[in-house]
Amino acid sequence: MKKLDMLYEGKAKKVYKTDDSSRYIIEYKDDATAFNGEKKGSILEKGIINNKMSGLLFKVLEEKGIPTHFEELINDREMIVKEVEILPIEVIVRNIAAGSLAERLGLEEGTKMKKTVLEFCYKDDELGDPMINEYHIDAIELATKNEIENIKNYSFKINEVLSEYFLERDIVLVDFKLEFGIHKGEVILADEISPDTCRLWDKNTREKLDKDRFRRDLGNVEESYKEVLKRLNN
């Protein structure tokens, strides 16, 4: 498969066309941003870690019946993915109160909630990815009701699979972001699954092993990303 022109460059990835119109190449970058791009930096080998971790976890989910855009890794930083029309909706799955949820609801960070919470955000950087609900999604036609039902069902299933997978490796899946798209008329999981998009805490020490180390200037950012990948590969 031949890599052609760059189609799109985001904060963490570049997307390239290929000589197969039904497939793209995603290249993961070391660039790091937080607070809707207000904080910028770089995390050494982040692109390599996120590419490998996403590929591994997409395979885990595929084996459990979750359709994804992933096809194969082609090198340390790049993967081949299916063509997909990304829905302009971010799904946030929350198991434990942390980050903006803890702030909004006045909860102590680390509070285990009675049940998993799903939140939807409108994917628009200029607007700051505002939170929306199913009424907004229906009213401005961001997705059909059937697509949203599939997204919700997949999100809870992904949470179940990944929570167990991480816990077996002494990592708690606190919360995470998902993006979905349409491929051949069907909803499938897209984007990435990495310390950029997940809050991951050590089960025993509650040490943060994710992008919060960059957001909050906690140090040992690269080491934490590498530690997560190391545990997943064991």
Domain with residue 51: its CATH number is 3.30.200.20
**More confident call, 125 vs 199:** 199
Structure tokens at 88: 């302009």
* Buried/exposed code over 142-179 (b: 16+ C-beta within 10 A; e: otherwise): bbeeebbebbeebbeebbebbbebbeeeebbbbbbbbb
pLDDT digits 0-9 by tens, 179-191: 999 999 999 999 9
Specify if 196 maps to a domain. yes
Specify if 233 maps to a domain. no
Is residue 155 over pLDDT 80?
A: yes
How far the first Cα of the chain sits from its last, in Å, is 31
- pLDDT, position 36: 77
Name the domain count of the chain: 2
Shared-domain flag, residues 102 and 205: yes
Shared-domain flag, residues 108 and 143: yes
Structure tokens at 147: 């697509």
- pLDDT, position 37: 74
Structure tokens at 82: 């299916």
Range of the domain at 39: 3-82
Shared-domain flag, residues 147 and 59: no
Mean pLDDT of 103-107: 95
Question: Cα separation of 26 and 79, whole Å?
Answer: 5
- pLDDT, position 227: 98
User: Would the pTM of this model clear 0.85, i.e. be above it?
Assistant: yes
Specify if 176 maps to a domain. yes
Is residue 72 over pLDDT 80?
A: yes
pLDDT digits 0-9 by tens, 11-36: 999 999 999 999 999 999 999 998 87
- pLDDT, position 146: 98
- pLDDT, position 38: 81
**At 115, is the pLDDT very low, low, confident or very high (cuts 50, 70, 90)?**
very high
- pLDDT, position 35: 82
* Domain stops at, among 41, 62, 82: 82
Specify if 226 maps to a domain. no
Specify if 225 maps to a domain. no
- pLDDT, position 133: 98
Shared-domain flag, residues 19 and 63: yes
Mean pLDDT of 85-98: 98
- pLDDT, position 55: 98
Contact 143, 137 (CB under 8 A): yes
DSSP letters along 7-71, please? Answer: EEE-SSEEEEEESSTTEEEEEE-SEEEETTTTEEEE-TTHHHHHHHHHHHHHHHHHHTT--BSEE
The CATH number that applies at residue 135 is 3.30.470.20
Shared-domain flag, residues 134 and 216: yes
